Amino acid sequence: MKAIIEGVRIAGFRAAVPPHRHSFLEDHSLFTAEEAEKLLATTGVYERRIAPPHICASDMCVAAAEGLLAQLGWDPASVDVLVFVSQDPDYNVPATSCIMQKRLGLATGAACFDVNLGCSGFVYGLWMAGRLLGGSTGRRAIVLCGDTSSRHLVPGDRSTLPLFGDAGGAVALEVSQGATPIHVVVGTDGGGAKNIWVKAGGRRNSLVPGREPWPAEKQERMFTDSRLSLNGAEVFAFTLRAVPPLIRETLEFAGVGVEDIDLCVMHQANAFMLEHLRKKTKFPPEKFLVDMHDFGNTSSASIPLAVSHRLGEALSTGTRKMLLAGFGVGWSWGAVVADVGPIPAPEVQEIPDDFPLLTP
């Protein structure tokens, strides 16, 4: 599917991370020093940020949103749309975005909703918020993307533990008569659903306890099924199969070529995969952002986090034509071409352990 967002500009980015760091190059409980060095070479991940048990994805996103609103000088009541993209909501009911509306001080006339997507979620959230502004009386929108991916991992899993970290990101959109069109391409293939999934926790395989305790066998099965299952070989094959055509299609739809793009920021999956994608899409290294070292793979937050961490100076000093692309769990994918900047320099903030939590 293709779409054009007209009359809307990207007004700002911001990200938030917990203060707790973990590196298998310093902690050799799971890998030897030699193994950890090899992991760094392939994944690009030196350390990840791990949220403490009381901090949720929503808290990191709220911190990013509060910081971004202050940086932009926006009255929260002027925000008409709030989209929360996450696979880690606070509750089954209600939608976390409704609680965010109250915390952030948005007007009761604002449209607020959750989107359950992962690696492609930033693109989808941006697209939905932009289209809502373009077809309504709304003037401003905030898209929040965040996950606590570290909590989905099986203890001792050598394939996933070194890769995933926790973060939240925010992007602001605003109606602007002078805005250039934003071109969007998205797609889905549910045939790959089982290659990145958490089998238990929804209604199909419920974790809601009955009155009688579970048998030990079921208890053990639910423990495993409530953690992330990831088929790395299938993920890699899907990525190389789906993403290069996505990039070509998006560039063609936007009427531009690789040479016209100033900055390409893809979902920060791992350095090995990103380098393969860079070569297949023919982006020169100086235009292609890889930002795995300090945060790892942060799911839906990875694009706004990478932008906030590495592109503050570039986006605050001029206009850059950017290609942003997300892909993964679902299978789901999407990309946008947009002119961004000048905007206030995007930043990454640490939230303290005593950050005021989002509560109903």
**Beta strand pairing status for 332-340 and 320-328?**
antiparallel
161's CB contacts (< 8 A; 6+ apart) are: 24, 30, 153
Is 231 an active-site residue?
Answer: no
Residues in the chain: 360
219's CB contacts (< 8 A; 6+ apart) are: none
Cis peptide before 214 (omega within 30 of 0): no
DSSP-assigned letter for residue 179: P
Cis peptide before 342 (omega within 30 of 0): yes
- Tell me the C-alpha distance between 246 and 249, whole Å: 5
Phi and psi dihedrals of 3, rounded to 5? Answer: -150, 155
Is 267 an active-site residue?
Answer: yes
Is 119 an active-site residue?
Answer: yes
**Catalytic residue from among 119, 152, 183, 195:** 119
**Catalytic residue from among 112, 195, 264, 297:** 297
- Tell me the C-alpha distance between 167 and 145, whole Å: 9
**Catalytic residue from among 152, 183, 267, 309:** 267
Q: Torsion-angle region of residue 288: left (phi > 0), alpha (psi -120 to 50) or beta? A: beta
Beta bridge partners of 265: 289, 324
Measured from the Cβ of residue 105, the count of other Cβ atoms closer than 10 Å reads 12
DSSP secondary structure letters along 182-240: EEEEEEE-GGGGGGEE--SSSSTT-----SSPPPHHHHHHHHHHTS-EE-HHHHHHHHH
* Catalytic residue IDs: 119, 267, 297
